[in-house]
Amino acid sequence: MLDTNICGLKLKSPLILASGILGVSYSSMKRVMDAGAGAITSKSIGPRPRKGYKNPSIFELFSKTFINSVGLANPGIDEFEDEIKKIKQFDFPLIVSIFGDTIESYIEVALKAEDYGCNAIEINISCPHAEVSSIGINPDLTNFLVKSLKKEISIPVFVKLNPNVTDITEIGLAAEKGGADAVVAINTIAAMAIDVNTHRPILSHGSGGLSGQAIHPIAIKKVYDLYEVLHIPIIGCGGIFSWEDVIEFLLAGASAVQIGTALYNGVALLKTINKDLENFLIKNEYSSLSDLIGSAHKFELQEVPEF
């Protein structure tokens, strides 16, 4: 009943682990898999090991909302080979998030990830506290990177979009025209918190990315706008804590969702949301989740009357 197909990836649930949350080792990814996720997105992996920023790198601003600036810390694609292969022994959909400092390095990481056995690539061009964000705010750079990757790899390419732009649909269209198989909306929102006693930013890096419940309505709006113009699947991401949050993304136009921040309380939430989604479908006599995708667009929005 919850089966979902994204660009040929067969998911038993629409819930996908978001990049940056628990997707850094086989053991943590296996826990998410066993808890009921339909697919896993790894932490963003680059061409070489990267330490990231010093602590404090993550801080809970208020309930269910965090600000973080990890700085793309990762072991590098060569060291990550074993983690990919361990997950792949279960024939479970694995999406590897990648980044690079040049087009060539993006391609290098993507080719290795594909060779190691992942099912799809998610390109990170939108992390608000790293250099890659400069790509995700430029439609020409986005288009060129996607087009370059599609020439080299045969597995699907997902593009994680930057919400810190004037018009996200412009970037989404550039990704689609470059050959992207799907987009992920949204990444974290550029933010900062300052300690009133020390007079300095709380995060060691200064600024960071806002995630969790506070960004959910923003993510819904971005997905809604993207659905109006794109012809490729949209994976919604931002502040999912319940089955209602998932359904809202589907109604806005998402075909699946990514969940991240909510898992700070444990991965058991995935099982709960899956069960609640099944109950919702049965109660409302829907045969599948696909019946809901984009339904909010069937209603005309009220226009301001002319005087």
**E strands within the chain?**
4-6, 9-11, 15-17, 39-41, 58-62, 65-68, 94-98, 120-124, 157-160, 182-185, 189-192, 207-212, 234-237, 256-259
Residues 6+ apart with CB under 8 A from 223: 185, 186, 234, 236, 249, 252, 253, 254
Options 7, 118, 127, 237, the catalytic residue: 127
- Reading phi first (left if > 0) and then psi (alpha if -120 to 50, else beta), residue 37 is in beta
Q: What is the sign, positive or negative, of the torsion defined by CA atoms of 210, 215, 218, 220?
A: positive
Using DSSP bridges, classify how beta strands 207-212 and 189-192 pair: parallel, antiparallel or unpaired: antiparallel
Amino acid in the structure at residue 292: L
What 3-state DSSP class applies to 288?
coil
**Phi, psi of 266, deg, nearest 5:** 120, 155
Do residues 13 and 4 lie in contact, with contact meaning Cβ atoms separated by under 8 Å? yes
Q: Tell me if residue 127 is catalytic.
A: yes
Do residues 98 and 92 lie in contact, with contact meaning Cβ atoms separated by under 8 Å? no
List, by residue number, the catalytic residues.
127
